[in-house]
């Protein structure tokens, strides 16, 4: 009965989870803030100017950024898993995140600090990684297995180049890059939130409009072609849109792994494989997941802060290993 209601009312249920995660994340942190303090600040009658500053200048921009990054990574992961017909595919494993990180660190190493330039360099790095993965996989007829292997190779190559850049870069850019690479929601410029939200919404809308194509991909490329889908063109366009979402997320928060892997699986288990529902549900749950992870990163060792990428990896890696084990048992 509960499961049936959950499937029927998935949107209000996930919206409630999102709002609860947002509330918890606004309250979490080294500076104590009660529910009454938060409510007073939100309605414009703060008990103290400090409360107002903490809510509007520190925590609210960060919570919104976590929601945006979590949603982008979860949606791109769901799209990659559909196109590759592989439940273990996500932007991190496919080398897209590594390419985006390499682009951003290259910009830092060259002394290009503005967020706009970093975002552009990250996007260019993601596109470069996508192109290289696709080119390598084409030699093996572009099978999903070949794409995964090519993604791992490109990710390793990007990691090696990234380490070389960090080794040769001056100390200050290196320190900045290391903090950023571990997954950091504190370094993004809040002024970029609206622009990033608009760009991510456009990419998400485009992917959502291709939900039927993603459903066809899960039936196999031959079946999809028989039903009239231009498989090569559709696959490349989905790669580009999902890569753009990943690039935007990496540019804003560094490398935050496992969100794109775990969240679509949870949604698929709870509400089925239809991408018309899977993509928006993944966006809502991914946003809530990263807000909770960020709240944990700020409170577990307060006043010190754990990189949010570490928290998501600690939560996501056991789930990844469970998936591998389950696939092996099924043969």
Q: Where are the domains of the chain?
A: 31-329
pLDDT single digits (tens) 87-115? 777 777 777 778 877 887 887 777 766 66
pLDDT single digits (tens) 171-182? 666 666 677 777
CA distance readout (Å), 154 to 80, 94, 130, 150, 309: 16, 8, 9, 6, 21
DSSP string, 47-65: SSHHHHHIIIIIIHHHHHH
* Rounded Cα distance, 19 and 90, in Å: 26
pLDDT single digits (tens) 234-293? 877 887 788 778 877 887 887 788 888 889 988 888 888 889 999 999 999 999 999 999
How many CB atoms lie under 10 A from the CB of residue 43? Answer: 8
> What pLDDT does 326 receive?
67
* Rounded Cα distance, 294 and 296, in Å: 5
Q: Are 277 and 271 in contact (CB under 8 A)?
A: yes
Fold of the CATH domain 31-329:
ABC transporter involved in vitamin B12 uptake, BtuC (1.10.3470)
- Residue 144 pLDDT class (50, 70, 90 cuts): low
CA distance readout (Å), 199 to 204, 218, 241, 272: 9, 27, 11, 28
Most confident by average pLDDT, 60-74, 118-132, 142-156: 60-74
Residue with the bigger pLDDT between 22 and 137: it is 22
The two tokens of residue 22 are 């947002």
Find, among 100, 126, 71, the residue nearest to 285 by Cα: 71
Find, among 86, 97, 85, the residue nearest to 231 by Cα: 85
> What pLDDT does 283 receive?
95
pLDDT single digits (tens) 190-248? 777 888 888 888 889 999 999 988 888 888 777 887 877 787 778 778 877 887 788 77
Find, among 204, 305, 320, the residue nearest to 266 by Cα: 320
Whether residue 19 has pLDDT greater than 90: yes
> What pLDDT does 152 receive?
81
């Amino acid at each position: 009965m509960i499961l049936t209601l959950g499937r029927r009312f998935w949107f209000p249920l996930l919206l409630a989870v999102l709002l609860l995660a947002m509330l918890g994340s606004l309250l979490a942190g080294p500076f104590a803030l009660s529910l009454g303090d938060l409510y007073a600040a939100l309605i414009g009658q703060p008990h103290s100017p400090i409360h107002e500053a903490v809510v509007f200048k520190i925590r609210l921009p960060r919570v919104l950024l976590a929601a945006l990054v979590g949603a982008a990574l979860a949606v791109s992961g769901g799209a990659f898993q559909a196109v590759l017909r592989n439940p273990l595919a996500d932007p991190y494993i496919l080398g897209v995140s590594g390419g985006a990180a390499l682009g951003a660190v290259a910009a830092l190493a060259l002394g290009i600090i503005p967020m706009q330039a970093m975002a552009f360099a990250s996007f260019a790095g993601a596109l470069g990684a996508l192109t290289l993965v696709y080119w390598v996989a084409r030699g093996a007829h572009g099978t999903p297995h070949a794409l995964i292997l090519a993604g791992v190779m490109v990710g390793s190559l990007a990691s090696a180049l990234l380490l070389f850049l960090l080794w040769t870069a001056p100390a200050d850019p290196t320190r900045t890059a290391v903090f950023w690479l571990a997954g950091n929601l504190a370094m993004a410029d809040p002024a970029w939130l609206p622009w990033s939200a608009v760009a991510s919404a456009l990419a998400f809308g485009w992917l959502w409009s291709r939900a039927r194509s993603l459903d066809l991909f899960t039936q196999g490329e031959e079946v999809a072609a028989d039903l009239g889908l231009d498989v090569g063109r559709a696959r490349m366009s989905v790669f580009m849109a999902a890569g753009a979402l990943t690039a935007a997320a990496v540019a804003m928060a560094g490398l935050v792994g496992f969100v794109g892997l775990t969240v679509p699986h949870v949604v698929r288990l709870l509400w089925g494989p239809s991408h018309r529902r899977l993509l928006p549900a993944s966006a809502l749950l991914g946003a809530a997941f990263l807000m909770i992870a960020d709240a944990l990163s700020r409170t577990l060792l307060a006043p010190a802060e754990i990189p949010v990428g570490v928290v998501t990896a600690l939560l996501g890696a056991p789930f990844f290993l469970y998936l591998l084990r389950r696939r092996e048992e099924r043969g």
